[in-house]
Structure 1
């Protein structure tokens, strides 16, 4: 293909209780809730976006919190671990911080020249904090719960679990990623110049059970396109290659197309534009329920379906 992504745009997972989700990602992980909206395909549930101050592409982890969702199963055909980037020499602080909150964490492990600390969120979603030796220049969101010198900078990588790697590797190559490391049954691909926010690891597990997408698992992984024109060209190239791709969908804060890589994981290409200040100012991101124009006439009905969320003041840009 003639087009290449510059890195990850966001990762979307499924959660259970939305208040528990908010409390964990704002207070335990120190992220900002940059948009409170609904699942446009199922407006009876929230769509919650967490990231840096403005929700820059590459900083985002998002959730569909269905209160009665059954627990999912990690396995082949899924993104099985979502890794977040933190500064070097921060993992000791994070281990103490998370343990103090009652989160079960693993031991710090070294891989690909980096150090990683694995743990799970309250729904069982597998997460890791990764310290890249060259650092991460992205600015963190400073909400007072996590010191800025240790705070999350954004996404680091995702791990795709597959039974066989050849076809998945070919699809990643079509997206413009290149193989940069191979260790046993694990392959690392990088977009652009590589580094945090531009990695995907492929874990080859021939005997792994198929994953079940439900609470505590990743729904899809989104890659960046700079604008709508590039996205349309990219879609045309995918279709020409025989990939089944959705039409371009308006997600209000970006435009999206969806397709599956051969191993089974649902992928998205999302535009960087227009961003989360499209319908509210930077100072107020995430505080109010925002609906797209086509759902606004149903606001009262939608609000009656959604549980009330208590958003802590730490989500404000100015906390005076």
Structure 2
């Protein structure tokens, strides 16, 4: 898959440092583990859907041994016309269960480069997941230094002192930061304030400290991710709420329970049909307009 993953360009410049194993994903990961044991730092480029075939090798041959292998996960999220067999919507769920594996979801092109540099210097297995297509180039000025397990605050809330709406924070994962920025800008243009926007660049380990602080500080939290709901970041945020004794469902004025409303924008269905990325996002409610409408409805007092 050197052509589809973009490795072909690297191969032309460094033919002796490139190994095309075809569609033998299990072999690719065990091969990379051997290279790492020999002192090299292999980067393995695999489609998200095909990495599922190498789960055993990633877990046992790479991660249990804490080997310095970097897995570049192409086509993470909705892939559109590639069809349902290529959907990369399961990787957050299955990667977060693997011990010793650091998982990064860059928000765009510049951060993808920074993530690769971070992974090169990191002492252990790293997976970097990114979608098909042209990378997002917005927010290039927002590239906080990578610190293990730390999220990045894109902007703090400007709602301080307002009592007409509920306070809102948005957690966006990877490529969904682009949509979250559109939603933030629309709220600012139409409502006159900015919600807090946080990029969850590390999906393993999670920034539980930031999550818990945000749960305590805001009345409504929206989590936006292009992943299935089970095993998702939104599910993890709900778990942190439960640990704090907070109910994330819609508030009931008759209850004395402390509540922070959790809005989870994800993929509820277990498989996706063929179609453009734009169309599929509209079907599952991950387009900016659908997300905006649900958020505005939730924050009204």
Structure with higher Rg: it is: 2
> Which structure is higher in RCO with an 8 Å CA cutoff and minimum separation 6?
1
Q: Is TM more than 0.5 here? A: no
TM bucket (normalised to shorter chain) is under 0.3
* TM-score, structure 1 normalization: 0.24
